Amino acid sequence: MKTIIAACSQNLSGNRASVQTALRTLLAAPWPSQRDVRSWLQLLSVLQWVLSFLLLGTVSLLLLIYLVFTSFWPISALYLAWIIFDWDTPEKGGRRLPCLRRWPVWRHFRDYFPVKLVKTHDLSPNHNYIIGSHPHGILCVGAFCNFITGSTGFGEMFPGIQPFLTTLAGNFRLPIFREYLMSGGLCPVTRRAIGYLLSKNGTGNAVAIVIGGAAESLSCRPGVTTLILKNRKGFVRMALQHGAYLVPSFSFGENDLFRQVVFEEGSWMRSIQQRFQKMMGFAPCVFYGRGLTSVRSRGFLPYARPITTVVGEPVAVPKIEDPSCEMVDMYHEMYVRSLLKLFNENKTKYGLSETDELQIL
């Protein structure tokens, strides 16, 4: 553009040759390649996802509080009335929007890492399922991409199966954010919500639960394959009460997306994290990833590391309304064995060595 202006200023009569030369110079400048455009689209798709999960609920709440003190207060009043009217919807299957699952941005999100879903066994639509998702990682990227978005082909791999993903119940009390979560198929990780999906929503429902939860996220770091599972048996009891089959899944690469400052057990910082986790339901992890402008800079975006989620063989579970502790323990052991088998058969295929072992605490 500067070249064109200069050419015109040197010859006010508008020398056609000078203008043509300037245009050729401008058009000869390097344009972004398709690869560059794809990279930026992938980066932006991950950015919007991270910002949505970290800020959407808080910003929406603060905005509605601010509107109360302005002439737009009816907006806050109407939305409060809507939340009161719609309070129980998250506990009753939510309000999913299939168009959101097909949103093209999720394909760019998938390709950023990339995320891949691997099927090892069929899931019959005549049953309901509880899918144990491991490990938790920092932000559960693998679980979200595979079970909430349609970008990795869950619907094509498991026809007739409708996936749901559970998250903290407190998230569904935040304005706007609750609508965003429900539209994708997320539901509260409560007995009532899970029980509804497994007993009052027909068959073909698969409820994914990140078993390790916040406690597991505190130990998340690259190369670590430790799960908090030994004393997590509530999901097995629910499976028995509703006759839902148990399905293990493992996301290889989930722990490689961020770097975390892990505080040793017994340290005062670890104590603060654990107390916060008990009060609020989630743990305040001290982590970092890559920055927006460069892979070498530090920021809150995940590193581009491949994630492969392998869905294992379902464990058939009978329906027992009041299962005994012995029965729960037996099916918990069966689930753990199935998970260990899944891990050992696939670890060398997806970035781990033959000597890596899955530790269950």
| 245-267 pLDDT tens trace | 999 999 999 999 998 776 666 67
Classified as helix, coil or strand, 322 is: coil
Give yes or no for residue 31 having a pLDDT over 90: no
Strand order in the sheet with 259-260: 259-260, 287-290, 298-299
Q: Alpha helices of 69-190 — where are they, by DSSP H?
A: 73-85, 98-101, 105-112, 141-147, 154-157, 177-184
Give yes or no for residue 273 having a pLDDT over 70: no
Whole-number pLDDT of residue 7: 41
- Provide the percentage of residues in the chain whose pLDDT is more than 90: 65
The closest of 110, 116, 100 to 45, measured between CA atoms, is 110
What tokens appear for 290 in the block? 């890559």
Whole-number pLDDT of residue 19: 58
Hey, what amino acid is at 243? G
Q: In this structure, what is the dihedral angle of CA atoms 147, 243, 122, 226, given to the nearest 10 degrees?
A: 60
Give yes or no for residue 323 having a pLDDT over 90: yes
Whole-number pLDDT of residue 177: 95
- In angstroms, the CA 121 to CA 204 distance is 15
Provide mean pLDDT across the span 77-104: 92
Whole-number pLDDT of residue 221: 73
Classified as helix, coil or strand, 297 is: coil
Radius of gyration of the CA atoms of the chain, in A: 25
- Least confident range of 129-138, 259-268, 349-358: 259-268
- In angstroms, the CA 153 to CA 116 distance is 9
Whole-number pLDDT of residue 226: 86
Whole-number pLDDT of residue 1: 42
Task: Provide the β-strand partners of residue 48.
Answer: none
Dihedral sign for Cα atoms in the order 298, 274, 325, 170: negative
What residues does each domain of the chain span?
A: 36-351
Query: Angle at the Cα of 359 (from 335 to 333), degrees rounded to 5?
Result: 20
Whole-number pLDDT of residue 100: 86
- Model pTM score: 0.86
Over residues 200-236, the pLDDT tens digits come to 878 999 999 999 987 787 777 777 788 999 999 999 9
Provide mean pLDDT across the span 20-25: 60
Give yes or no for residue 27 having a pLDDT over 90: no
Q: Which residue has the higher pLDDT, 123 or 225?
A: 123
Whole-number pLDDT of residue 16: 60
Give yes or no for residue 287 having a pLDDT over 90: no
pLDDT interval class at 282 (50, 70, 90): low
What value does the mean pLDDT of the chain take? 87
Provide mean pLDDT across the span 37-55: 93
The closest of 319, 352, 348 to 127, measured between CA atoms, is 319
Give yes or no for residue 30 having a pLDDT over 70: no
Whole-number pLDDT of residue 32: 65
- CA distance to 136, 140, 306, per residue, from 220 (Å): 8, 11, 16
DSSP string, 238-256: HHHHHTPEEEEEEEETGGG
Provide mean pLDDT across the span 139-146: 95
Residue 54 DSSP code: I
- Least confident range of 183-192, 246-255, 321-330, 352-361: 352-361
Strands 359-360 and 307-311: unpaired
